[in-house]
Structures are given as structure tokens and as C-alpha cells.
Amino acid sequence: MRPRSAFAAAAFLVLGALAGPSFADGRACVRANVEEPFLLPDGSWHEAGLLRICLDRTYSPSAALHTIQAAEGTAGTFLSRRGVSEAPAAAAAPRILFARGPSRTLRLMGYAVAQGERTRIYWIRQR
């Protein structure tokens, strides 16, 4: 039998149809219209529609806090692990990353956005 870890079983899907970075209450945000139901990292189920992720603050050099809002309202505050992509920021548009597991359900994994000369990646922690 093959291993069944979350990453081994997941097919990754990157949504490129983002409206780009936006600012809400002075916070940097990314948003996308998700065309099918999805799960947030806390396991909550959300209908298709607008998804907005805002960076609230840097928690530590390797972590940040985010507010995630689904179409029906605020879903909550989430902790992320921060990283840097090798892709040049000039060529990188904001991206939201989902994994599709064996049940075919989309699960939010994180997002990437250009910050200065780098592309910052935020991996939203799963509970």
C-alpha cells in the first residue's frame, strides 16, 4: 500500500483569478472568488463565493496572524508559518493555494503575495 499522508494524497490547485492585493482597515489582503465549497484550516465548511485573507500582524519572524473571511462572514483568526518563495516578486501575482484530498474537497492551505523584492508565502496552520 502507498502512504496516505495529507500531502501524498492531495492534488494541488492554485487559484490565479485573484483581484490582487487589497487593503481593508489598513491591512494587506488577498481575495478570490472560489467556485466550489471549501474547508478552512479549522475544518469549517464554506459555500462557494468570495474568500478574503488579511494579514493582521507579524507574530514572530516565522509566523503571522490572519483574518479569513468567507462569503457568509468572518470565519476567524488563523496562525501561519511564513516562508519565502524562489520566484521573483516582479513575476508573482497573488495566489491562494488549496489541496484537494481523497474526498475531492478543497482545503485551504495558504497563500503567496509579493512583498518588496520577495514573494512571501503564508502556510495557514491546520488544527
The confidence score (pLDDT) of residue 91 equals: 61
pLDDT tens profile 71-85: 878 778 999 999 888
Contact 17, 34 (CB under 8 A): no
Instruction: Report phi then psi at 78, rounded to 5.
Output: -130, 150
- Bridge partners, 104 (sequence order): none
Mean pLDDT along residues 118-122: 88
Mean pLDDT, the chain, rounded, equals 78
Alpha carbon 44 to chain centroid distance?
14
Q: How confident is the model at residue 64 (pLDDT cuts 50, 70, 90)?
A: very high
Cα gap 127→61, rounded to integer Å: 21
Q: What is the DSSP letter of 58?
A: E
Cα gap 45→31, rounded to integer Å: 18
